[in-house]
Structure 1
């Protein structure tokens, strides 16, 4: 686990020294330098080849420069393909899985019932019925604007960092990686994507949870949000830009092991279905199964962390119920036992299988179609 506690130690779960917004762009800039070079002229490519050879331009042979440029062009093409395919996969995942995610967050964030009273939602189906009755089908897609607006950036980071780490770990171009190496690649991608996922998740969760929290917060003047931008404005007004990173630590603790497990399981299943042969020839059926089970493995490893993340991110800034992630964990465990740490687990698992099957299938199809 990456140790961020010394930096992100605010008692309310808000980072004391949060990553500024431009960190997100720095990550993308670090991960996608090659894609930005696609528009450079041949002259600059030639000059980079000379620099890579550590020789003055007149002494570099034309053949050597061409080989260097060819390797560079392959690298740039791989980054661009990961970017495009990751975006397609993320869009497919979001469209298929968002209604399940809405129900999950409603169940996670509903206030604990008073003694002798039933909870607002008795279960996942009851949450669906109440949401449909009160808000119609649109209610199941509430909060989708924030992840939809950032799906390109999130998946660009996730799949491109993973792809670049794969390239670093390969003994030679095109060589297959072991499952353990894929786990490392997934963990690294999870760390990178956390910086973008944290503010996106906060906005999404606050939109999804506001109806579940309405009864308990009506008398406290809780904000009623009109959309993702309105959430961001309220948060910045109340807590500054660092407020957008409330819950960053549990987000990091979710994304790092979760993506390590997901990509490791995905590649292990692909290798199993391929029977030790090249996995690039797998049909859509095995890819759907591998993607769905890989998505399920994500939540099996990190679901309690996701519950803590959700309650921290929907908590009040002015009068927080929890002093931090550990406090939220202890209080949920004390009040509800282990069951409380798995609120909404059913919808999460129901979402993860079809959503990630769609994501990985769309990614693989788009990636292969790009050559």
Structure 2
């Protein structure tokens, strides 16, 4: 009845919060002045307002009293973090514990892969324009190499010469690399953060940077082969239009032609790009969520806040690593007749600086920035849509003990804290089972005692 009164009174309140008088008025209407005394209302509000001294309480404030599975959110949050950190620290000694964390994340990785593929497809034309702008050489020694004036001119000419389909050249390798890249990056980042986290659950800025850098380094194993294939597919469209008789190659032909060692051409440059990118992105993203938007045990961020945090963290990470991305593109792209063949990172950097100037190192920089924000937003929106379409009882949208757990944290340790309604029904049934046909009869050897009778019902335990 208290639950009914609280919900009814909160629904009538403009801000969905009530005072003692609001509760008393609603109780009078619901129970005809016969159920609650002023002292009982004072006791109820005393316990419900332990975390809120304003005098105006919401339904969430009353869960401390009404929800039998309620646990202090701060303690629950710290316990879940400690469990995750402990699993990461003991990954070598107890791999099953850490693997269980990874297995629990498999569902999120699957949805993240589909959502990531969707986001990558939406912004892929920007990525193609970025690659072609970075690969375009503006040296005065070889005239006629400048095909595009700027990014918009490149976008327009690709449509004119190759059609809309040309904007998606090389999309296949990009989609193939989404799942392993995200899985390795996020898993290694979580594992490294656990290693650098102290017993109180704190991690230094140095630990955050090293964790992000470790994640970026590990992903190169998958990203480099896929990126070199993607880049060559993206560029061959303009070659076939500008060079007569140039053949169009498939991804399989490129893989066979390059071989295993050729697929890792430019890996050092890829490493030089991905390590600082992740070292900048992950700490910045975490601090924006925590310090600016206030993410914590009492607050999980909404879609808009996550989008802004991801975009804000991705912009500096993308722009400041553009020079390494330009060098990587030049090394992985196939040089044409009359163009300089780069030997290594140092030779490529010095040649670009000498022939094209310092400005050339930031070709495609704006495209990298404008790609990150919409890609993150589309990925996040698709991820939430898939969560609703394919629900999972451990999904991030679930709440524990009436409190939402911020995304990325493990869920409640207590399995009975997942469904307060079930607990209410179970507790009520335990009371009702004391009023059965055996009430008052002496127990026999072949029957359970009255005290333990409810234990024999499947799913119940003390």
TM-score of the pair, normalised by structure 2: 0.57
Quick check: 2:318–2:369 contact (8 Å CA) kept in 1? yes
- Deviation by residue 1:225-249 (Cα, 9 ceiling, x = unmatched): 2x3223212323xxxx211111110
Quick check: 1:179–1:267 contact (8 Å CA) kept in 2? no
Give yes or no for the alignment of 1:224 onto 2:251. Answer: no
Quick check: 2:277–2:321 contact (8 Å CA) kept in 1? yes
- Deviation by residue 1:94-132 (Cα, 9 ceiling, x = unmatched): 123211100000111124365665720000010010001
In structure 2, stretches of 5+ residues that fail to align are 1-92, 388-394, 399-410, 412-462
Moved more, 85-94 or 335-344: 85-94
307 and 120 in structure 1: CA distance in 2 versus 1, 3 angstrom threshold: same
CA separation in 1, counterparts of 2:374 and 2:205?
23
281 and 335 in structure 1: CA distance in 2 versus 1, 3 angstrom threshold: same
Quick check: 2:240–2:247 contact (8 Å CA) kept in 1? no
Give yes or no for the alignment of 1:326 onto 2:346. Answer: yes
257 and 72 in structure 1: CA distance in 2 versus 1, 3 angstrom threshold: closer
Give yes or no for the alignment of 1:273 onto 2:296. Answer: no
Q: State the 1:189 CA deviation.
A: 0.6
158 and 131 in structure 1: CA distance in 2 versus 1, 3 angstrom threshold: same
CA separation in 1, counterparts of 2:336 and 2:149?
28
What residue in structure 1 maps to residue 130 of structure 2? 104
281 and 343 in structure 1: CA distance in 2 versus 1, 3 angstrom threshold: same
Quick check: 1:109–1:212 contact (8 Å CA) kept in 2? no
What residue in structure 1 maps to residue 375 of structure 2? 355
CA separation in 2, counterparts of 1:267 and 1:186?
11
163 and 119 in structure 1: CA distance in 2 versus 1, 3 angstrom threshold: same
Quick check: 1:143–1:204 contact (8 Å CA) kept in 2? yes
102 and 72 in structure 1: CA distance in 2 versus 1, 3 angstrom threshold: closer
Aligned partner (choices 327, 334, 339) of residue 308 of structure 1: 327
What residue in structure 1 maps to residue 267 of structure 2? 248
Quick check: 2:220–2:274 contact (8 Å CA) kept in 1? yes
Aligned partner (choices 141, 164, 178) of residue 137 of structure 1: 164
CA separation in 1, counterparts of 2:228 and 2:298?
37
In structure 1, stretches of 5+ residues that fail to align are 1-51, 54-67
What residue in structure 2 maps to residue 234 of structure 1? 257
CA separation in 2, counterparts of 1:179 and 1:357?
27
Query: Where does 1:50-199 land on structure 2 (aligned, <5 Å)?
Result: 75-81=101-107, 83-84=109-110, 86-112=112-138, 117=144, 119-171=146-198, 175=201, 177-199=203-225
What residue in structure 1 maps to residue 276 of structure 2? 257
1 or 2, which has the higher helix percentage?
Answer: 1
What residue in structure 1 maps to residue 448 of structure 2? none
Quick check: 2:295–2:301 contact (8 Å CA) kept in 1? no
Quick check: 2:133–2:150 contact (8 Å CA) kept in 1? yes
CA separation in 1, counterparts of 2:372 and 2:269?
19
Ranked by relative contact order (alpha carbons within 8 Å, sequence separation 6 or more), the top structure is: 1
- Deviation by residue 1:118-160 (Cα, 9 ceiling, x = unmatched): 7200000100100011122211111110011222111111111
132 and 271 in structure 1: CA distance in 2 versus 1, 3 angstrom threshold: same
CA separation in 2, counterparts of 1:273 and 1:74?
32
Quick check: 2:137–2:145 contact (8 Å CA) kept in 1? no
Q: Which has the larger radius of gyration?
A: 2
Quick check: 1:142–1:208 contact (8 Å CA) kept in 2? yes
What residue in structure 2 maps to residue 342 of structure 1? 362
